Structure 1
């Protein structure tokens, strides 16, 4: 039974990311999983419950992944650069309308997403800035809180307020934002490290 629930979560997540939430019905999910809609309701009360459980699982996984970044990479520039590259890949799989749909139709889910940013992602970036300053790879006069707020505002503009942007436009926008943010952070020493990563990729 538990394996069926895992498959349901994986397949429904794939559908939601690709087509948005409103365009995916419980019948679509049942067809994708090769089961009856009745079976879905053995695990989830409704679509809102399904979404909440998906978000809960993704939050747990994200927290585990964020702990790994500093251990896998030798300095703060590599950590943040790799993190941003991974974010870009993830966002490329997400329908441009997904965040807008969540904000409009699933306010409780939207609040959970905001919590992820506020209590997980932004503290991760803030801690990275602190580490980068200690390594002399970031400018010493940086104010992590202000920078994180600015990044968050621009991120929201890209993914939650644009009604007609395509995936390609999202990719271009997020790449620009991440590169701009990294260049705002790095010192002369850090810029050398950053340029190595650009040339490598």
Structure 2
């Protein structure tokens, strides 16, 4: 049990540091110092930084799958599901370093391919099921080209991580993602759906004040 606890503590500390500073900027020494342990202790559980990053991303993917499925299950309708996703993204992205995907792609390519598989398969299917549900509920336009829009959505979800994009903006990732997803949502909805979007949006804004 102690061994498992130590490994989890290392992953948790590493995750927090990586989310804040990016992958490249965080060394094994930084993680050891943060935990008050020796770097040798970390290497008892992870052979190198690449393995540690890979396990961190595995955990993030598992957690993301769980949260997406939970949101889908408790959503009142397709639009409500999008607002639940917005809440999840706000919590996840508020303090996230936008350079994290660039670092992963450049320095941990195998892990990045794993992330791409999650994006292109799981997240794509989550979007597709939401659009089909919204059409059935008559909240989205009946003429939506679902395949095109889902591919567009999963790509735009990660545009803010592009250095050329985020470096020219003063907003954090959470705010940028919120603007992108609301823009996307207004392009989907029927008149009936528009009224529901405004209802959820006003409820969301009132909670902020």
Does TM-score exceed 0.5, indicating one fold?
Answer: yes
Which of 172, 181, 191 matches 1:178? 181
Instruction: Give the TM-score normalised by structure 1.
Output: 0.93
Instruction: Give the TM-score normalised by structure 2.
Output: 0.89
Q: Matched residue of 1:129: which SS?
A: helix
Which of 54, 57, 73 matches 2:75? 73
In the TM superposition, what is the alpha-carbon distance from 1:66 to its structure 2 partner?
Answer: 1.6
Give the total of aligned pairs. Answer: 201
Query: How far, CA to CA, are the matches of 1:134 and 1:9 in structure 2?
Result: 42
Instruction: Give me the CA root mean square deviation.
Output: 1.7
Q: Matched residue of 1:96: which SS?
A: coil
Query: How far, CA to CA, are the matches of 1:108 and 1:28 in structure 2?
Result: 23
Contact 1:136 1:190 in 2 (8 A): yes
Contact 1:30 1:40 in 2 (8 A): yes
Q: Matched residue of 1:162: which SS?
A: helix
After the TM superposition, which of the residue ranges 162-171 and 129-138 deviates more from structure 2?
162-171
Alignment of 1:1-201 (within 5 A): 1-162=3-164, 164-165=167-168, 168=171, 170-201=173-204
Query: How far, CA to CA, are the matches of 1:79 and 1:4 in structure 2?
Result: 36
Contact 1:20 1:101 in 2 (8 A): yes
In the TM superposition, what is the alpha-carbon distance from 1:47 to its structure 2 partner?
Answer: 0.5
